Amino acid sequence: MRRLRMVEKALERACGDQARVLMRKSATATPPGTSEAVAAVQTRCYVDTGPIVERVCAKYAGVGWIGKNTCIINQKVGSWLFLGVILTSLELAPDLPAADRCGSCTRCIDACPTDALVAPYQLDSNKCISYLTIEKRGEIPQDLRSGMGQQVFGCDICQDVCPWNRKAPPTTASELQPRPELVNPALEWLAQINPEEVRRVLKGSPIRRAKRSGLRRNAVIAMGNSGEPRFLPQLEAWADAEDPVLAESANWAASRIRRPSSKSEDS
């Protein structure tokens, strides 16, 4: 079932732009009963679009501590939360930073399949599956492909294993529910997705950030990591594709399926 972490999964990437819209509404809304003096205060609000590192501000605002997986962690809701920023000229009493409660736990570091967490609180973003499957363009380094497993868009393994997320409450907001058609979609469909389907099915979804070429590349690598021979005919056909990245990835994936015990193709 860790099959496509694609994901429109829970509050992770599933909500897409709806999360930003909802957060912006919350950040810009003027509370009932607000005095004119307060309403006249200068403010700037944004969600995931500004130059400030939100998690650092959240740490010093008492929202939570920055965990060993580099995510902000709240004692009650874990790391499954969104951060919005309000810059204001209003004088406010500062909060105390939250205490670091990771202790001796290293589950996130131990669980990372590509060893992207090189040390506590230190992330090598070039090895992170989220970066590789969403932002990386072109070929993915071969030594990192097997660690990607069948993650096609993003990765939350370091959050999944965090003990603070065990009792994290699920959202009840209708805008943030996962899209059924994007929960564990078939690899074959993803790898063959056409431009019209990208526009129609992925409308308003952050999955479009990977672009069609990236989604197809990721799906092909996931096919190779699945070890399922049923993918071989299609992979062999794509080995001669005009897209050089797709062709190279398909060659790698087909070789991996033919020799599942061999690690030579990862070196």
For 129-139, the pLDDT digits (tens) are 999 999 999 99
**Distance of alpha carbon 150 from alpha carbon 59, whole angstroms:** 33
Is 50 exceeded by the pLDDT of residue 263? no
Between 11 and 96, the more confident residue is 96
Q: Please answer whether residues 154 and 134 qualify as being in contact, where contact means their C-beta atoms are separated by less than 8 angstroms.
A: yes
Count of alpha carbons within 13 angstroms of residue 132, beta-carbon side = 28
For residue range 18-76, list pLDDT tens digits in order.
555 555 566 555 555 555 556 677 878 877 777 888 899 899 989 999 999 999 999 99
How remote is the C-alpha of 254 from its chain's centroid? 27
Structure-block tokens of residue 232: 């071989």
The pLDDT > 90 percentage for the chain reads: 53
Question: Taking residues 105-122, what's their average pLDDT?
Answer: 98
Residue listed under structure tokens 């015990």: 261
Which pLDDT belongs to residue 169?
A: 85
Cα–Cα–Cα angle for 14, 65, 124, nearest 5°?
A: 65
Whether 110 sits among the annotated catalytic residues: the reply is: no
| Other beta carbons less than 10 A from residue 26's beta carbon | 13
Which pLDDT belongs to residue 259?
A: 85
| pLDDT classification of 12: cutoffs 50, 70, 90 | very low
Residues in CB range of 117: below 8 A, 6 or more apart = 68, 69, 70, 108, 109, 123, 124, 158
Range scoring the smallest mean pLDDT among 6-15, 22-31, 68-77, 174-183: 6-15
Which candidate in 17, 48, 100, 266 is catalytic?
48
Between 123 and 181, the more confident residue is 123
Range scoring the smallest mean pLDDT among 218-227, 228-237, 252-261: 252-261
Helical (H) or strand (E) element with 225: helix 211-226
Is 60 exceeded by the pLDDT of residue 264? no
Question: Which residues face 78 on adjacent strands?
Answer: 74
